[in-house]
Amino acid sequence: MARHGVHVRCHVSVRIALEEGIHVAHSPSLERVEYRLGTILTTLVESHPDRPARPRVVIVGAGFGGLAAARALRHVPVDVTLIDRHNYHLFQPLLYQVASGLLDPSEIAHPIRTVVRHARNVDVLLAEVTGIDVAPKRVLTTGAAVPFDFLVLATGSATNFFGIPHLEEHATGLKDLPETLALRARVLRAFEQATRCSDPAERRRLLTFAVAGAGPTGVEFAGALAELFRHVLPKDFPHLDFSEASVVLVEGTDRVLGTFAPRLGQSAARRLERKGVRLLLGRSVKDVDGSALILDDGERIDASMIVWTAGVTAAPVADLLGSPASRQGRVRVTPQLHLPERDDLFVIGDAAEMEDRGEVLPMLAPVAIQEGKHVAGVIRARLRGASEPPFRYFDKGTMATVGRGAAVAQIGPIRINGLIGWLIWVFVHLMYLVGFRSRVIVFFTWAWNYFFYDRPVRLIVGTSSDEPRIRREDV
Ligand SMILES: Cc1cc2nc3c(=O)[nH]c(=O)nc-3n(C[C@H](O)[C@H](O)[C@H](O)COP(=O)(O)OP(=O)(O)OC[C@H]3O[C@@H](n4cnc5c(N)ncnc54)[C@H](O)[C@@H]3O)c2cc1C
């Protein structure tokens, strides 16, 4: 017992040192020793029968924000439950590379349990959250209810079809893994079907792919598809006439990459056109039927697939909380990232409408990550009775690729274009990717693709019934 007491005191001093950020030196080996010591002592303390109950933090969503919060709470004396309906964390910015056959899903999706396995106070729960009981403070899930003292909602966003007729039924978003794999299968299956199709009009329709929304996701996906059709698939389908294959990018405004400087948008537009993408600017989708999309001026574009990247809305977090939501479905939060009327209910990332220096922060991964870390700081400050700092977003810039070897980047007043932009894009995405193995594999895949134009994951998985997109059943 006396030995246990020594351990507990020793542990407390290590923990205080960690919490205060007192690192004698930042050598990795010292940090490893410090971490191991902390882990052993945490186990001893946690197994002590007299240990007082610690505050329970429940985080819903293991995306960028939720994961950052869970990791940052690692050394805070709380018990964390991280709930997600998937058992993996998804790196959404590279989904389009899975859809276009460049990356394998395992390179952009990582088991949550692996990512947080060093955080001994974090427990993972695979469940869908269905409601929040704010009075008894319980999260309702498809399994058991989970009690909390602090709740962090980091549920992200969903595709917004804006109520356009038949769009949800016939178009697909680019938001999650099953959708992305179905999309990849749909593209490849269309080429397989085209090889057996003797009707030229129908063959052209099969080989026409429409992308709606010329924001970063639409531009990146359209560029990647155009390269797939131009450089990779002709080798697989030598008897197909690839002049019949096309990518159409439809955008309601008159600009590509509207959130970027006009010069960068124009450069991206030129590059896309050089790759063979047909740009339809200032035109919007009015309707979709079983084999075509219909634009606002009545033009009908026969296509086998429409990918909708033109709108996102926050996942229905407002419904869960019973709070009013913004037009984008986001919930307004204070500078400390909690609801104005409840300082124990935090919302972060895409789900939160956070105003910083007079502007609502965009739905971006760095915003979610920084908010996740900040929320952990607010909880830590609350437990110590310290003042809770307001959130300030540090904008490191935005970027988008336009196919292999070219990207546009906007970093403060600096505008970068072309290969240099792409190298920065590569570096930044490798930094943010989870896991050393993924970074190495992705780096080599990109280098390989740069030199050889290869899309190695040209696999059709699942059945065609997983692909409920525009199609004619009689093909
Ligand atoms: C195709 C695409 C490309 C993008 N490209 C970029 C880019 O280049 N740069 C950039 O900065 N941002 C990009 N973004 C945006 C970025 O991915 C988001 O801003 C970021 O993921 C938001 O983080 P989050 O933590 O709020 O939500 P997410 O990362 O979306 O995580 C939400 C998590 O909550 C879980 N969840 C939701 N509801 C429930 C529920 N009811 N029960 C249980 N779990 C639930 C989900 O499964 C998910 O794991 C892109 C997004 C997409 C879709």
Residues 82 and 40 in one domain: no
**78 in a domain, yes or no?**
yes
Residues 225 and 250 in one domain: yes
Round the average pLDDT of the chain to a whole number and report it: 88
Asked if residue 334 has pLDDT above 90, the reply is: yes
Q: What is the pLDDT of residue 3?
A: 42
pLDDT in tens, 263-276: 999 999 999 999 99
Residues 253 and 304 in one domain: yes
**91 in a domain, yes or no?**
yes
Measured from the CA of 349, which atom of ligand 1 is nearest?
26
Rounded to whole angstroms, the maximal C-alpha distance in the chain is 86
CATH number, domain containing residue 354 = 3.50.50.60
**Residue 92 alpha carbon to ligand 1 centre in Å:** 6
Answer whether 80's CB lies under 8 Å from 57's CB. yes
Cβ atoms within 10 Å of 144's Cβ, excluding its own: 11
**474 in a domain, yes or no?**
no
pLDDT in tens, 191-213: 999 999 999 999 999 999 999 99
Q: What is the pLDDT of residue 53?
A: 84
Residues 23 and 36 in one domain: yes
Q: What is the pLDDT of residue 15?
A: 43
**401 in a domain, yes or no?**
no
**398 in a domain, yes or no?**
no
384, 411, 434 - which closes a domain: 384
Measured from the CA of 95, which atom of ligand 1 is nearest?
1
| Burial environment of residue 243 by CB neighbours within 10 A (0 to 12, 13 to 18, 19 or more) | exposed
Answer whether 141's CB lies under 8 Å from 128's CB. yes
Measured from the CA of 84, which atom of ligand 1 is nearest?
44
Confidence of residue 49 (pLDDT cuts 50, 70, 90): low
**Residue 462 alpha carbon to ligand 1 centre in Å:** 24
Residues classed as catalytic: 220
Mutate to test the pocket of ligand 1, among 82, 84, 86, 92 (most ligand atoms within 8 A of CB): 92
Residues 210 and 248 in one domain: yes
Q: What is the pLDDT of residue 32?
A: 52
24, 52, 80 - which closes a domain: 52
**Residue 362 alpha carbon to ligand 1 centre in Å:** 12
Using alpha carbons, select from 467, 74, 155 the residue that is nearest to residue 304. 467
Asked if residue 2 has pLDDT above 50, the reply is: no
Mutate to test the pocket of ligand 1, among 59, 64, 96, 259 (most ligand atoms within 8 A of CB): 64
**Residue 87 alpha carbon to ligand 1 centre in Å:** 14
**327 in a domain, yes or no?**
yes
Using alpha carbons, select from 305, 181, 190 the residue that is nearest to residue 242. 190
Q: Determine the Cα angle at 210 with ends 206 and 211, to 5°.
A: 150
Asked if residue 13 has pLDDT above 50, the reply is: no
**443 in a domain, yes or no?**
no
Residue with CA at minimum distance from ligand 1 atom 23: 64
Confidence of residue 36 (pLDDT cuts 50, 70, 90): low
Q: What is the pLDDT of residue 364?
A: 96
Residues 266 and 184 in one domain: yes
pLDDT in tens, 116-152: 999 999 999 999 999 999 989 999 999 999 999 999 9
Distance from C-alpha of 251 to C-alpha of 309, rounded to nearest angstrom: 10
Q: Total domain count for the chain?
A: 3
Write out the residue range of the structural domain in which residue 211 sits.
Answer: 167-309+461-466
**Residue 370 alpha carbon to ligand 1 centre in Å:** 14
Residues 244 and 203 in one domain: yes
Distance from C-alpha of 9 to C-alpha of 5, rounded to nearest angstrom: 6
Residues 329 and 262 in one domain: no
Residue with CA at minimum distance from ligand 1 atom 29: 63
Of 22 and 65, the structure prediction assigns the larger pLDDT to: 65
Using alpha carbons, select from 95, 161, 133, 55 the residue that is nearest to residue 365. 95
Residues forming beta bridges with residue 360, ordered by sequence position: 355
**124 in a domain, yes or no?**
yes
Confidence of residue 315 (pLDDT cuts 50, 70, 90): confident
365, 384, 403 - which closes a domain: 384
CATH number, domain containing residue 292 = 3.50.50.100
Say what percent of the chain tops pLDDT 90. Answer: 79
Asked if residue 178 has pLDDT above 50, the reply is: yes
Residue with CA at minimum distance from ligand 1 atom 31: 63
Q: What is the pLDDT of residue 428?
A: 94
Residues 88 and 123 in one domain: yes
Residues whose beta carbon lies within 6 Å of some atom of ligand 1 = 60-66, 83-86, 92-93, 95-96, 128-129, 154-156, 174-175, 216-217, 315, 349-351, 363-366, 368
Q: For the whole model, what pTM was predicted?
A: 0.88
Residues 43 and 94 in one domain: no
Strand stretches in 205-328, DSSP E: 208-212, 246-251, 277-281, 285-288, 292-295, 300-302, 305-308, 312-314
Residues 105 and 197 in one domain: no
Residue with CA at minimum distance from ligand 1 atom 52: 92
pLDDT in tens, 363-400: 999 999 999 999 999 999 999 999 999 999 999 999 99
Residues 173 and 305 in one domain: yes
**Residue 434 alpha carbon to ligand 1 centre in Å:** 14
